[in-house]
Amino acid sequence: MRSVYLDNNATTRVDPEVVAAMLPFFTENFGNPSSLHHFGTEAKTALRSARQHLQNLLGAAFEQEIIYTSGGTESDNTAILSALAMQPDRDEIITSAVEHPAILSLCAWLKKNRGIKVHYIPVKANGHLDIEAYRAALSPRTALVSFMWANNETGVIFPIAQLSKIAREAGALFHTDAVQAVGKIAIDLKNSDIDMLSLSGHKLHGPKGIGALYVRKGIKIQPLIRGGHQERGRRGGTENMPAIVGLGVTAQLTAAHLSAENAYIQPLRDRLEQGLLHSISNSMVIGDKENRLSNTLNIAFEHIEGEAILTFLNKAGIAASSGSACASGSMEPSHVLRAMKVPYMFAHGAIRFSFSRDNTEEDVDYVLSVMPAIINNFKKQR
């Protein structure tokens, strides 16, 4: 049976070049970069080289603006908590209704336990942010605006340049969860109004357990993890050198091939999208079909449960994900689809296919050979 992986927004296969670069740092080059002997200096040199590769990918002005973390969630938490801690006279946060749980869960906790006022900006039916509602929510008490660059479920891209400029003009800090955007969208932080940006290595063919937080020079942060002097005192703990080196090589490969990969991946996504819409009636693409990531297709099928579709896709060797999540024993559409007001009869049958450079036309054709029969079988059972 053929195996097709189309869940790359969840995680990606680690690139073989990345694995090869990491391996020596488990064995020969095992030194602690804080040590003064040659084992330590070799590690310190590798640490700086990796940081420079990531700086280049992000277009950051200074390598010191890059702080290594354990991943996107830690980066998001550090950004939000720091913005509040460093601005005690500001106690409001603005975010969107479709953010990742790494943002929404913390905001809910802050609202409940610390009395922080959180403005959840709604989105339109196509997944785009309500800009006027955002402007209206800004005030002198806004500590931080945090909007994702691209949505993990629909791929819809927010106009971060515009959103960050609005925040800057209002005197608020601006953070973006760019976990899905880095590696798919060209980024130039030094010429932006972005103050902080989160990313995660495993979304771009790097290892899990490593990420980074970009913090613009001059922005003060409060460490989430306190310990030694690592990361200029901004994140304690001995550096995860194999993963950091892996993320550095990932950044280097991504910067070199970003445009070519988008040009290769988007036609694959479009081939699948057009094939499914043509062969399966009562199906719809969720989100803006134009202004979205080149690799993401969220497609819904009327009156069919997404989890059931995924079960049969998995039996056929196809990995995808659902736009639904299990809540308290009953199936409910995801918070993203609810925020977009996707019709109920479609929201339950949402499936996300997300591509990477590892996918092929043969993968797409295999899905198209399997999917119509799966959906039609469910329709016959209704």
* Domains of the chain and any CATH numbers: 4-11+258-381 (3.90.1150.10), 16-254 (3.40.640.10)
Q: Is the pTM of this model over 0.75?
A: yes
pLDDT at 331: 61
pLDDT at 238: 83
Average pLDDT over residues 214-232: 91
pLDDT at 323: 59
Residue 141, sorted as left (phi over 0), alpha (psi -120 to 50) or beta, turns out to be alpha
Q: Which two tokens stand for residue 111?
A: 């609202």
CA distance 343 to 122: 16
The single-letter DSSP state of residue 10 is T
Whether pLDDT at 329 is above 80: no
Three-state DSSP state, 184? coil
pLDDT at 1: 77
Q: Which two tokens stand for residue 187?
A: 């980024």
CA distance 139 to 155: 29
In this structure, the chain runs to a length of 382
CA distance 354 to 352: 6
pLDDT digits (tens, 9 = 90+) for 307-326: 999 999 999 999 999 854 43
CA distance 14 to 261: 16
Q: Which two tokens stand for residue 373?
A: 């029969």
Catalytic (active-site) positions? 326
pLDDT at 324: 44
Whether pLDDT at 328 is above 60: no
Q: Beta 296-301 vs 321-322: how paired, if at all?
A: unpaired
CA distance 212 to 200: 7
Average pLDDT over residues 113-142: 97
Q: Which two tokens stand for residue 245?
A: 């080196």
Q: How confident is the model at residue 382 (pLDDT cuts 50, 70, 90)?
A: low
Whether 349 and 256 have beta carbons less than 8 Å apart is answered as no
